[in-house]
């Protein structure tokens, strides 16, 4: 597996030098400063590629080209944004970027309610608390019809939770949910997010799925022509937020996506933490089922709770059996090598490391501090070595 590292560009407080010191060989990055639907030009791509290569690494994955809401809604501006997306995709491929990860989440990207949840050992983790989220949706945002979206007991618990919050607590909760997290394209205010949510009124899961399929029919041929493998990222969390449709959340969704355009270039990002935070998803089984179309892996872990809440756990803890998952991915790499596929090595990265030690005194992107991810990458590297030795001895 290609050990990779998320880097948000020159403004990232965790530098390319830090990534190389952590042992990464691949860099997962994007042109985050160009997020408004403009085409990423060959010069834009070449400039970023040079920064990565001059640091002694390769640009292993672009994560992500923003998918504008016009594409998700398939509205009157759809063609303009799709054509620009295709041109950016082609320019990445011509510039030597082999994998493009993207997502199809409406309005909000990956979402957490607490960015500094204390761990038992003194660090801080990311957390999604369902009660807190419902409190915000129903009683702070006051989304039309929000209360009917949830079980009455959950709404009552949310009402009590909100009553115990200070004004500062509410402001922090709102900022965590709607102000934008690293890698997301949109930052909202309370007023603007109401408008964005309203624009999706009446759009069902079926409608959203159909719009995704139309998008795939447009972009997959461009990817194949330019030697790029597309890797759709799951919804995070993989269930509806704000009553919005979510169509990349479970195995049946992956089946639909892959069957819609049955080409190797149309693949998935196997995000263990995202898929693992939905009850009923067996991440290891999903990896086995869709192994030949896994083009990228996010190896992080979560611990779920009954009401849909979850905490980002240590990489080798949590509900996903990381050893078994890595065993599946390494077996797929060996199978690809034996069958002559060019993409024998799957890029992976540690994700959402805990905030540890003196990183707690620094300004860092939530989930993307250096030490927590360095720790996670080292643990994953050890698992890969152990799996390889065991498989070698069994051969």
- What residues pair up with 58 in beta bridges, in sequence order? 26
Residues in the chain: 395
Contact, 230 vs 265, CB < 8 A? Answer: yes
Q: pLDDT of 131-164, one tens digit each?
A: 999 999 999 999 999 999 999 999 999 999 999 9
CA 86/CA 228 separation, integer angstroms: 12
- Write the class of the CATH domain 2-109+201-300+310-394: alpha beta
Q: pLDDT of 261-308, one tens digit each?
A: 999 999 999 999 999 999 999 999 999 999 999 999 999 999 999 999
- Residue 345 CB neighbours (<10 A): 14
- pLDDT of residue 362 exceeding 80, the answer is yes
> Annotated active-site positions, please?
233, 271, 298, 351-352, 368
Nearest to 227, CA basis, from 270, 263, 259, 271: 263
- Grade residue 47 by pLDDT with cuts at 50, 70 and 90: very high
Contact, 39 vs 88, CB < 8 A? Answer: yes
Burial of 210 (0-12, 13-18, 19+ CB in 10 A): middle
Contact, 6 vs 352, CB < 8 A? Answer: no
Across 173-185, average pLDDT: 79
* Lowest mean per-residue pLDDT among 6-10, 31-35, 82-86: 31-35
- Per DSSP bridges, beta strands 124-128 and 310-313 are antiparallel
Identify the helix (H) or strand (E) that includes residue 347: strand 347-350
- DSSP symbol at 68: -
- pLDDT of residue 185 exceeding 70, the answer is no
Give the alpha-carbon dihedral of 305, 308, 314, 319, to 10 degrees: 70
Contact partners, residue 378, CB within 8 Å, separation at least 6: 22, 23
CA 120/CA 40 separation, integer angstroms: 44
Tell whether omega for the bond before 300 is within 30 degrees of 0, i.e. cis.
no
Across 15-25, average pLDDT: 98
- pLDDT of residue 392 exceeding 80, the answer is no
- pLDDT of residue 390 exceeding 80, the answer is yes
Q: What is the pLDDT of residue 37?
A: 86
- pLDDT of residue 336 exceeding 90, the answer is yes
Q: What is the pTM of this model?
A: 0.95
CA 26/CA 48 separation, integer angstroms: 13
User: To the nearest whole number, what is the mean pLDDT of the chain?
Assistant: 95
Cα 392 versus chain centre, distance: 32
- pLDDT of residue 186 exceeding 70, the answer is no
CA 300/CA 320 separation, integer angstroms: 9
- pLDDT of residue 184 exceeding 80, the answer is no
- Grade residue 250 by pLDDT with cuts at 50, 70 and 90: very high
Across 38-48, average pLDDT: 97
Contact partners, residue 28, CB within 8 Å, separation at least 6: 4, 5, 6, 7, 60, 61, 62, 63, 101, 347, 349
**CATH 3.20.20.150 domain position(s) in the chain:** 2-109+201-300+310-394
Token pair for residue 156?
Answer: 């009552």
Q: What sections of the chain are H helices per DSSP? A: 16-21, 42-54, 69-73, 78-94, 130-134, 152-163, 167-178, 190-199, 205-225, 251-260, 272-276, 283-289, 322-339, 370-394
Cα 271 versus chain centre, distance: 7
- pLDDT of residue 183 exceeding 70, the answer is no
| Helix, strand, coil percentages in the chain from 3-state DSSP, rounded to 5 | 45, 15, 40
Number of H helices, E strands in the chain: 14, 12
Q: What is the pLDDT of residue 123?
A: 97
Span between the terminal Cα atoms of the chain, in Å: 19
Q: pLDDT of 189-244, one tens digit each?
A: 899 999 999 999 999 999 999 999 999 999 999 999 999 999 999 999 999 999 99
């Amino acid at each position: 597996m290609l050990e990779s590292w998320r880097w948000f560009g020159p403004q990232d407080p965790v530098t390319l030098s830090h990534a190389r010191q952590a042992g990464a060989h691949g860099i997962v990055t994007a042109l985050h400063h160009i997020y408004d639907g403009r085409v990423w030009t060959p010069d834009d791509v070449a400039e970023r590629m040079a920064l990565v290569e001059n640091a002694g690494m390769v640009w292993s994955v672009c994560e992500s080209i923003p998918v504008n809401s016009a594409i998700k809604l398939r509205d009157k501006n759809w063609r303009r944004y799709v054509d620009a997306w295709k041109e950016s995709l082609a320019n990445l491929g011509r510039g030597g970027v082999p994998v493009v990860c993207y997502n199809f989440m409406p309005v909000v990207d990956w979402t957490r309610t607490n960015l500094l949840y204390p761990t038992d050992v003194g660090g801080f983790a990311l957390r999604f608390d369902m009660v807190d989220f419902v409190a915000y949706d129903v009683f702070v945002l006051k989304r039309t019809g929000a209360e009917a979206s949830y079980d009455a007991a959950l709404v009552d618990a949310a009402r009590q939770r909100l009553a115990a919050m200070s004004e500062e607590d509410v402001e922090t909760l709102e900022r965590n949910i709607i102000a934008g997290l690293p890698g997301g394209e949109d930052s909202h205010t309370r007023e603007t997010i109401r408008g964005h949510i309203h624009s999706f009124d009446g759009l069902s899961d079926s409608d959203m799925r159909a719009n995704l399929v139309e998008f795939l029919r447009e972009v997959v041929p461009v990817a194949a022509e330019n030697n790029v493998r597309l890797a759709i990222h799951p919804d995070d969390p993989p269930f509806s937020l704000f009553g919005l449709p979510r169509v990349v959340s479970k195995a049946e969704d992956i089946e639909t996506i892959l069957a819609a355009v049955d080409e190797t270039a149309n693949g998935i990002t196997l995000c263990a933490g995202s898929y693992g935070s939905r009850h009923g998803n067996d991440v290891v089984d999903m990896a086995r089922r869709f192994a030949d179309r896994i083009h990228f892996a996010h190896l992080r872990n979560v611990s779920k709770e009954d009401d849909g809440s979850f905490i980002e756990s240590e990489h080798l803890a949590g509900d996903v059996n990381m050893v078994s998952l890595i065993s599946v991915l390494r077996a797929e790499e060996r199978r690809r090598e034996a069958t002559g596929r060019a993409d024998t090595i799957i890029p992976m990265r540690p994700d959402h490391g805990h905030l540890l030690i003196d990183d707690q005194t620094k300004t860092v992107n939530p989930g993307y501090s250096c030490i927590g991810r360095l720790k996670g990458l080292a643990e994953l590297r050890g698992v890969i070595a152990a799996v390889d030795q065991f498989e070698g001895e069994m051969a």
